[in-house]
């Protein structure tokens, strides 16, 4: 979820406002993730200092359950937000039609050029699949940092924190430094070729590390200055910022922990579409705004539908196709396309500058906005 810069002077501050509750907000947007990342990094550092081999064993059953319950549904809810209103076809033409159309064409083309006598009919062109995978992997850097900025903007708004222009620039440029780190970290693992070789020199990774450290120190200075000026900082503003730096520190130590980063990112996201759905229920029944058992049941049904859809998109196709000796199939290709479309959609539909977005997200709170 990515929001553009919010100029708080134009809006009424929402004192102690929350997407769910202040505590639940804090846990979801980074509190739980920070605990997990501290555990992973502590184990990694302990193994390094004691000379023990890295612990690569992962309980894939538990990981699959977490993917099913958290990660895959967070993709599906974006489609509910995007296609639930017919007006979105004209409001977001590229997100609703343009980008998915191009991605579908790429998938079908890769399928057409991937079939021959030596492979099953559902195997796609591996070169095209690799390019799409690379785009998805690198686009993810923009997606992670964009969502982080969105949460900083949201909870600054809800807590009445007016970021000064220089503070906003320092924090945002710090997140851009993390995009650079993520790209270099990802490219470093790829085979060298004429296009990637300039980014795979040893000094480039050292430069990315240095920039990330400088960005963290600069951001920390911003929050110290905010605390000195305000006398307080809403933890929901600070924690998402700290969380994204923790993710990349853990990836530096344990690249295999990326699945836990993905799960943390998905958990951050889920409370926002859940709030939009609850507010929509309130709008349909304004005389009964309370969270009743019937509304909880509808929300749980909505969540269960996202689980089933997630299994249908990300798990069922490859399960039915079976073993292809590691070759990318049309099922995997479509899953990559869904990832890329999700990243694009997320940056299109979540903008606090959009009055309708603010209304859908904050309508459960009094005085959502007051324009001067």
Q: What is d(CA 75, CA 82) in angstroms, rounded to the nearest whole number?
A: 11
DSSP string, 295-335: HHHHHHHHHHHHHHHHHHHHTHHHHHH---TT--BHHHHHH
For position 371, what pLDDT does the model report?
36
Q: 40 CB contacts (<8 Å, ≥6 apart)?
A: 250, 253, 254, 257, 260
- How many Cβ atoms sit within 10 Å of the Cβ of residue 245? 21
pLDDT for residue 85? 86
> Looking at residue 57, what is its pLDDT?
58
Q: For residues 338 and 75, what is the distance between their CA atoms, to the nearest angstrom?
A: 8
What is the C-alpha radius of gyration for the chain, rounded to an integer number of angstroms?
22
- Residue-level pLDDT, tens digit, the chain, 372 residues: 544 433 333 333 334 589 998 999 999 999 999 999 999 999 999 888 887 766 555 666 778 888 999 999 999 999 999 998 889 999 999 999 999 999 999 999 999 888 665 767 788 998 999 999 999 999 999 999 999 999 999 999 899 899 999 999 999 999 999 999 999 999 988 777 777 778 888 889 999 999 999 999 999 999 999 999 999 999 999 999 999 999 999 999 999 899 999 999 999 999 999 999 888 888 888 777 777 788 788 889 999 999 999 999 999 887 887 667 778 899 999 999 999 999 999 999 998 888 888 888 998 887 644 333
Phi/psi at 119 (nearest 5 deg)?
A: -130, 160
Name all contacts of 319-324 with Cβ < 8 Å and 24+ positions apart.
321/120, 321/122, 324/119, 324/120, 324/122, 324/123
H helices of 51-201, in order, are: 60-66, 72-83, 88-91, 93, 99-112, 126-159, 165-187
Element (H, E) at 226: helix 202-230
What is the pTM for the complete model shown?
A: 0.88
């Amino acid at each position: 979820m990515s929001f553009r810069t919010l100029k708080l002077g134009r809006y009424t501050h929402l004192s102690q406002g929350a997407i769910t509750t202040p505590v639940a907000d804090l846990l979801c947007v980074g509190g739980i993730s920070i605990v997990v990342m501290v555990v992973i990094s502590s184990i990694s550092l302990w193994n390094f200092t004691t000379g023990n081999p890295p612990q690569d064993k992962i309980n894939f059953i538990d990981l699959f359950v977490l993917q099913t319950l958290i990660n895959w549904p967070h993709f599906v809810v974006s489609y509910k937000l995007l296609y639930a209103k017919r007006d979105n076809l004209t409001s977001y033409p590229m997100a609703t039609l343009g980008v998915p159309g191009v991605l579908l064409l790429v998938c079908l083309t890769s399928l057409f050029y991937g079939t021959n006598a030596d492979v099953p009919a559902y195997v796609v062109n591996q070169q095209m699949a690799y390019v799409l995978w690379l785009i998805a992997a690198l686009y993810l850097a923009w997606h992670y940092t964009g969502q982080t900025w969105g949460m900083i903007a949201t909870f600054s708004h809800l807590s009445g924190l007016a970021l000064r222009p220089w503070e906003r620039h320092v924090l945002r440029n710090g997140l851009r430094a993390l995009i650079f780190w993520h790209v270099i970290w990802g490219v470093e693992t790829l085979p060298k070729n004429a296009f990637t070789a300039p980014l795979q020199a040893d000094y480039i990774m050292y430069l990315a590390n240095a920039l990330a450290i400088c960005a963290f120190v600069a951001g920390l200075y911003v929050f110290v200055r905010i605390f000195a000026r305000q006398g307080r900082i809403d933890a929901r503003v600070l924690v998402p910022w700290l969380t994204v730096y923790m993710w990349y520190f853990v990836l530096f130590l344990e690249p295999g922990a990326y699945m836990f980063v993905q799960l943390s990112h998905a958990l951050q996201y889920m409370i926002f579409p859940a709030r939009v759905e609850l507010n929509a229920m309130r709008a349909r029944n304004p005389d009964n705004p309370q969270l009743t058992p019937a509304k909880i049941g509808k929300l749980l049904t909505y969540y269960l539908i996202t689980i089933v859809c997630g299994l249908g998109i990300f798990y069922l196709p490859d399960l039915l196709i079976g073993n292809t000796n590691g070759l990318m199939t049309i099922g995997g290709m479509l899953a990559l396309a869904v990832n890329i479309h999700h990243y694009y959609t997320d940056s299109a539909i979540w903008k606090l500058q959009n009055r309708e977005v603010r209304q859908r997200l904050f309508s459960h709170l009094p005085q959502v906005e007051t324009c001067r």
